Structure 1
Amino acid sequence: MGGVRNQQVSWWKLILWGAFAVISAQPCSAAEWETRPVERVSVTIGKSMLIETSASLARVSVADPRVADALVLSPRQVYLMGKTAGVTNLTLWNTTGEVFAAYDVVVSPDVSRLQEHLHALFPDEKALRVVTTQEHIALSGTMTSSAALTQVLAVTETYAPGKVLNLLQVGGSHQVMLEVRVAEMDRTMLRRIGVNLSYVNGSGSQFGASVLKRLASPLPSGDASSVLSPLGAVPPFGFGLGQAVNALFRFQSGSANWTGFIDALKEDNLVKVLAEPTLIALSGQDAQFLAGGEFPIPVPQAFGVTTIQFQKFGIQLNFRPVVLSARQIAVTVTPEVSELDFANGLSIQGFVVPAITTRRASTMVELEDGQSFAIAGLLRESVRETVSKYPVLGDIPILGALFRSAQYQKNETELVIIVTPHFVRSMTDAQITLPTDGYLDPDDVDFYLKGRLPSRQGSASDMRGVEVPAGREEKSREATGLMIP
């Protein structure tokens, strides 16, 4: 009995193991495949791969045909080809119509080929790295210039249009200090000579020959002070040295009074304008500087209303630097030096609106660090000659000088604008020296007895707060608070 019972138990075990094997051998349903891990397949754009299966295929399906395409070559082989960068799914069905395999297909650009092309085109970019993400190409590393960075991006866009991640950086300093020097010399030379004759008799009859520019009638009789007072004033002509000679000759005989007046003027004017603004900005950012002010301009409106507008004047500087490489800088700069000119102003409702004398330039240049370039220049020379004379009498040789007035004026102007960019980096507070440091006020003894005025202590070399390499000027950098590498 025991042997028969053991034999029956063994048969039941065989039946159960057989049923389990049959169930395990059946294909999984679609719901079961969702819970299983999906195999990942990577394909390069324009290339293909062959997938072999363990079961016979009935059909295949690609979720996004724009990314990849699949073709059944045989009952157990699938031909998969990458078309564009992206991610899609590949599903396989057997002959019984059930899903037995699924794949995540990742199609990416040919990074190895792209990297070979980039290194061939840009051999100096040793730190350039190219990697692929799920759908994009990522560029990382440090570039030597902004121009090279732009070119690398353009080449990469041809491999994956619209799917390039720019993680590149440009090496070197990105802070640029721009020094601008506006220098102008304006020289004016003026020569003038004129004669005035007057005769007054006892009966009051007058005769005169006025050929002076400022005289419109014969000279009256009287002492010299009454004549020289209105004639001695010469209209101002800027700053300069002038030599004016006003000679009065008077002869009186009885009731007759002869008066002669000679006006001669020699004047030389020299005007010097020098402005050196300095401004710092980051690469690609705008910076503005103004040292001057704004003056009001009345603007008449309707119904007798007057509004005020303000016009800037002084030293202005607008510029935008772009770092092209470790040494090259592109600068868009607009320097301006303006001043008020009341001599050529207008009067509006009792308010004098001055004119503005302006020197302005606007351009874009490419320079290396520390190089200077003259972006604008002007050389102007003008000559004016004026002769006023009486007809016939003024043409008489020698004696004709008594009946004519001559004026000669010559203007010469020379203007130049120079820009110099520098790479800079910040300094510590201990390295910065302000213009007000070391300023001393004299005490009563120094001021009244020794004649000392307020001054700064120490020499100029002791107060510089910027380290400048040899061969570079130190003019305006001592107050910038930056170091020039």
Structure 2
Amino acid sequence: MSSRVRDTKRVGTHKRLRRSGGILGVLLFAGVIAISQQQPNASPMNAQPASNQGPTTSSQAPAPEVTGAAPLRVMVGKSILINTTERIKRVSVTDPGVADPIVVAPTQILVHGRSAGEVSLLIWDELERSRSFDLRVDVDVSAAAEEERRVFPEEQITVTPSRSAIVLSGHVSTEDVSKRAAMIAEAYSKNVVNVLTFGPVGAQEVLLQVKFAEVDRAAALQLGANYFTPGTGNTSGVLTTGQFGGATVSTTTSTTTSGAGGTLGVTTNNTAPLINISNPLNLFLFRTDINFGVAIEALQQKSLLQILAEPNLIAVNGKEASFLAGGQFPFPIVQPGQGFTAVTIAFKDFGVKLNFTPVIMPNGNIHLKVAPEVSTLDFANALTISGFTVPALSTRKAETEFELQDGQSFVIAGLLDNRVTDIVNKIAGLGDIPILGNLFKSKNLQKNKSELMVLCTVKRISPSAEAPAGPSNPQPYLNDNKFDGKKPSGSHK
């Protein structure tokens, strides 16, 4: 009887416990529903992005808690530990060859970077709620950056990763430093993107070295013969082809008066021939017995004219520079008015002139716009305006644009002018006689040959640390050993 009572009590106790557990479960379920209704936008997992300092290994710093969709970063060959507030059921990545995630604890994920790239990291909790995060795997550039700072401590070089490449950015002093920095980075990665700029900071300058070379060669040959006779009395004769001035004949009259005391004198007139030679270089022959002479013209002339100008101009990038070696001549301008005419004077340039504008391109080349000009005064084609003689200009000029590398040269203009003038004068009939006809003809042959070349060399320059040396004499001025080629007495060694 007593045992039946105890069993009945035990069964009642179990029923009360089951009833209490059911009520507690209903209350908990209702509380969860109420909380979910109050926070409908709550994230299934508390997550936050990785630290701004980049991915870290588990041995370097505490693992970050994933709270959002901010990108996560990890270096190739290193790992990052990610913490979550929810219990993790499983993880996955879009490309296991880029990153390998492993669940090492219910709320921790270890991600190992295998190769450079970007993948999506998917995380599921125990309630099958999922979340996606961007994961970026970059090349480790810390060693390369440290080596760049060690080799070039004074240069501004920034090393950053970009997928599987190393990017070099910043500004360095010279192009050689830029190339050497890229060679160092290639030891850490096969793909190196070099975007370093070089050169002096501030406005860049360009030096243009120009050479104007003009050579003018001329040759002349004059051949001919003039015949003349002083004649007798008041007669004279000249035979000439009219091309060259030979000898001319004229007469002079002299008067002589003689007498003694107060007696009347006697006047006599003496007429004598006078021979004038216009060119002393003529070959002159004269026979006094027959009063006949000849002047032979046989002249050969050669001349050489060379004009050379070497201007060196420096211009700021994108600005124009000009040069003029010559002068200006006055040019009258007639301005009519009411009842009068006014003449004003303007001046025009002539000589060796140069205008150029350099532009430094992004690839380091130099784009040039050059306009050289060589002009001389031409009085043969002069004009007369209101009593003023205005010479013409003989001009040779060119205008071109081209692109060169630093230190390269280029011929931008060349002109070759050949002129031949041949004039033959002869006496009709006599000049056509074989062999002897050459004595009755004259020949004037002129050859002119001119050549003009303009050569340009362009260079990028930077300010020099030392001031350039000034001009000096090639020989010591008033040096004892050099003065008059003798050493003055009393001097000391």
Q: If the length of structure 2 is used for normalisation, what is the TM-score?
A: 0.49
Q: If the length of structure 1 is used for normalisation, what is the TM-score?
A: 0.50
Higher-Rg structure is 2
